[in-house]
Amino acid sequence: MTDVELVVDCRCELGEGPVWHEQEMALYWVNINGFEQHRFDPESGEHQVENFDQHVTAVVPREKGGFVMSMRDGFALTDGFGPPAEMVAQVEKETNTRFNDGKADPAGRFIAGTMGFDAALGAGALYRFDTDYSVTRLLDGVSISNGLAWSADGSTLYYIDTLSFQVEAFDYDLETGDLSNRRQAIEFGRDTGYPDGMSIDEEGFLWVAFWGGSAVRRFSTEGKLDREIKLPVPNVSSCAFGGPDLSDLYITTAYEGLSPDLREAHPTSGSLYRASPGVRGGRAYRFKG
């Protein structure tokens, strides 16, 4: 077991998408339903929040400064922390869907997927947003597009569609960003929560957050459960490595879907937690567009 500490008591309805900004030595994440981008500076303890005019579902630092982000209506760019956001590629705007999780790949593209507002089976898709701002649909029939992680050499993409209760693996072409050789890497039971966001450590193990499972669990890529970090809240949404040597594991949570009784029993649901799991993570990639 690994202890966790509450680092920001922010109580987001849907805290998601933590990413470590190596140049700023700060953590960013989002409150999807609150239309918010959050920033935490561990050295000073400062927590900042900026608001947008629609759902912001994932943010990734850009190499030239600012951020690329997935929003309700598509892909947008900012010059810094917070608005304004320039929508540069609209995707699925006239549908009952929104974007969800997203990350930059090792080549500097942005990969993000969608889901139905009602979490309808197969309503979403996975997309690639290239540095020339073109958009390519990589997968159809996705229910709740979630965790993304790449192997150290970038040749394998690990991916979670939450309602499939598995991590899938794909051969990943770094030159083109294309996927092939789809296969199951890890299968989860139905009684331990829903697999959500995901990160990978320097030893190649996957750290998976479990919505409704009060935990982040570490798995080998062959599916063996290695360890578990328990949290004092039900809905654990994602995790990312950060800190000066990438040895801190930051964990986002949510109160979305909790009954009044459960919210009272778990008052810090939606807040940001941190653990020291004894292993380092890899660097977060930046968007090169």
194-283-161 Cα angle (round to 5) = 20
Residue 9 annotated among the catalytic residues of the structure: no
CA 125 to chain centre: 16
Q: Could you tell me where the beta strands, DSSP code E, fall in 173-243?
A: 179-187, 194-200, 206-211, 215-219, 225-230, 235-242
Q: Any bridge partners for residue 53, and if so which?
A: none
Half-sphere CA count of 28, side-chain side, radius 13 A: 25
Strand bridging mode 166-172 / 145-150: unpaired
Dig out the tokens for 203 from the structure.
């030893």
Measured between its terminal Cα atoms, the distance across the chain in Å is 41
List 101, 130, 196, 248, catalytic entry? 196
Amino acid making up residue 260: P
Is the alpha carbon torsion for 107, 224, 19, 111 positive or negative?
A: positive
Residue type, 234: P
Tokens standing for 91?
Answer: 């995707």
Give the catalytic positions in this structure: 196
